[in-house]
Chains A and B, each alone.
Chain A
């Protein structure tokens, strides 16, 4: 089943590393995709702007896979919606 949030986040990750989205899967590790520490903070910055969320430093340190990123973003969007 298609998951629009996955597609959007993968699009941002693909753009960040200049690679085709179809080379990125939910289980891809960020390190394997070539994300170093500067790539991670830059991409998180993009995600925060795009989804109007705030991702804590502690949370960023736990991100290992694409799935971690998507689920983290989803949780924060859900929390924001619940508080709206």
Chain B
């Protein structure tokens, strides 16, 4: 079967920047970060204080009590984003389409907050037992399963867990299944909710969390800021989307993957280079045709310099005028959900002709010699953009997006 064009017809988001697509865009386009003191966890004993949390979140606004009991926060975010995405797409889920739709989600940690709470009961409170819903709440595929059940989607449904590349891998898999004709629609993205004490202490011990804020590519960057949330997309064959008169928000046109085979946590430059090149090859584009990069840009000393090196190597002189930003400076690093949030930022940027900035920007690190969009969004209409994820474990996944046809 010939390759089909893949349209993005629906998008749903919930994260620290907003509880829906519009709120996300309002914050991104004005360069307004959502980083602040962590609220839901007692941080007295933590070395860091700040995170990017969904403020004022009330599960009861989205789920009845019976349903909430089954859903860890990460799965709630997956479901809320999927609902918005499907509604946004306007698609009618017929029985036939339900059989030919995939649900692919990404999550790095799954519902470990639920597990953490269960272990508090067991080890600290000496209750000798753990809540019976701990396993179904914790499993990393809970988001995908709940989306499938709520929508009655019975096609290929699974979850990808590749640390911080999870969502890019899930979106890339979904893109290829639609492109290759394996399914007629996909609901894909990812979510994460890592704000529980046990998880935060584990991140503290990694010593990669900033004590103040996240300032990717800056000389004085001090690390990442954890975030939470989820984003989901509806992908359809472009022709089918056109035929039903759907509004097309953009396209996914390429996907590239690679592994560093080097170190569990230290970044390498070779793997990212190969994944970017693989994505360009898949999209049949030359480096010069890329007009914006939504970078992995964690704000750690290791990642940003290495990523800048990879971009320089692939794009050469074009990198002098190739706008790059890391929106993690605003929505934090949502780990397995990060790629989905950044895909949302990238698709909206292409659609609106406005490239979101790297917030909290101070002074460019000479080792990150790129055209970083600093603090204020840049008005620029571009046709193609990259969104990169380079995960712990050396697993890299890069997506190429195209603006909707004018």
Which A positions have Cβ atoms within 8 angstroms of B? 36-38, 41, 44-45, 54, 56-58, 60-61
Q: Which residues of A contact B263 (CB under 8 A)?
A: 36, 38
Binds A, one of B1-9, B58-66, B205-213, B394-402: B205-213
Do the beta carbons of A56 and B47 come within 8 Å of each other?
Answer: yes
CB < 8 Å: which of A37, A44, A56, A57 contacts B265?
A37
A41–B266 CB distance below 8 A: no
Are B205 and A37 in touch, CB under 8 angstroms? no
In the complex with contacts A37-B302, A57-B47, A45-B265 CB distance below 8 A: no
- Which 6 pairs between the two chains have the least Cβ-Cβ distance? A57-B207, A41-B207, A37-B266, A38-B265, A60-B207, A37-B265
Closest to A48 in B: B205
**Residues 70-119 of B at the A interface (beta carbon under 8 Å):** none
Q: Nearest residue in A to B300 (C-beta to C-beta)?
A: A37
B223 within 8 A of partner (CB): yes
Note all chain A residues with C-beta closer than 8 A to B222.
57-58
Cβ proximity bits B256-274 to A, threshold 8 Å, 1 near / 0 not = 0000000111100000000
Restricting to B265-286, which residues have a CB under 8 Å from any CB of A?
Answer: 265-266
CA distance A61 to B300 in the complex (A): 12
- The chain A residue sitting closest to B48, CB to CB, is A57
The answer to whether B266 touches A36 (Cβ under 8 A) is yes
Q: Is the CB of A41 within 8 A of B206?
A: yes
Which residues of chain A are near B205, meaning CB under 8 Å?
41, 45
Contact-size category for B:
10 to 19
Using a CB–CB cutoff of 8 Å, the interface residues on chain B facing chain A are 47, 205-207, 209, 211, 222-223, 263-266, 301-302
Measured CA separation A12–B211 after assembly (Å):
28
Contact A38 B264 (CB under 8 A): yes
Of the A-B pairs whose beta carbons lie under 8 Å apart in the complex, a sample of 9, sorted by A's number, is A36-B263, A38-B264, A38-B265, A38-B266, A44-B207, A57-B209, A57-B211, A57-B223, A58-B211
Bound CA span A38–B265, Å:
7
Q: How far is the CA of A36 from the CA of B209 in the complex (A)?
A: 18
Distance (whole angstroms) from the CB of A56 to the closest CB of chain B: 7
Tell me the total A-B contact number using a CB cutoff of 8 A. Answer: 26
> Which A-chain residue is minimally distant from B47 (CB atoms)?
A57
Distance, CA A54 to CA B266, complexed state (A): 24
Given A37-B266, A58-B211, 18 more A-B residue pairs with CB atoms under 8 Å apart are A36-B266, A37-B265, A37-B302, A38-B263, A38-B265, A38-B266, A41-B205, A41-B206, A41-B207, A45-B205, A54-B47, A56-B47, A57-B47, A57-B207, A57-B211, A57-B223, A58-B222, A60-B207
- A60 to nearest B CB, angstroms? 6
Bound together, the chains give a CA A44 to CA B206 distance in angstroms of 11
User: Across the two chains, which residue of chain A brings its CB closest to B209?
Assistant: A57
Give the nearest-CB partner of B223 in chain A.
A57
Shortest C-beta distance, A13 to chain B (Å), equals 18
Which chain B residues lie closer than 8 Å to A58 at the CB level? 211, 222
Contacts of B266 in A (CB 8 A): 36-38
- Residues of chain A within 8 A (CB-CB) of B211 are 57-58
The winner among A37, A44, A61 for most chain B CB atoms within 10 A is A37
Q: Which residue of B lies closest to A56 (CB)?
A: B47
With a cutoff of 8 Å between Cβ atoms, the chain A residues found around residue B207 in the complex are 41, 44, 57, 60
Question: How many Å lie between the Cα of A35 and that of B223 in the bound state?
Answer: 20
Tell me the bound Cα distance from A39 to B17 in angstroms: 36
Tell me, in angstroms, the Cα distance from A54 to B264 when the chains sit together. 25
- CA–CA, A58 to B223, complex, Å? 11
| CA gap between A38 and B262 in the complex, in Å | 13
> Which B residues lie within 8 Å of A60 (CB)?
207
Q: In the complex, what distance in Å separates the CA atom of A44 from the CA atom of B204? A: 13
Closest to A60 in B: B207
Q: B343 CB to closest chain A CB, in angstroms?
A: 29
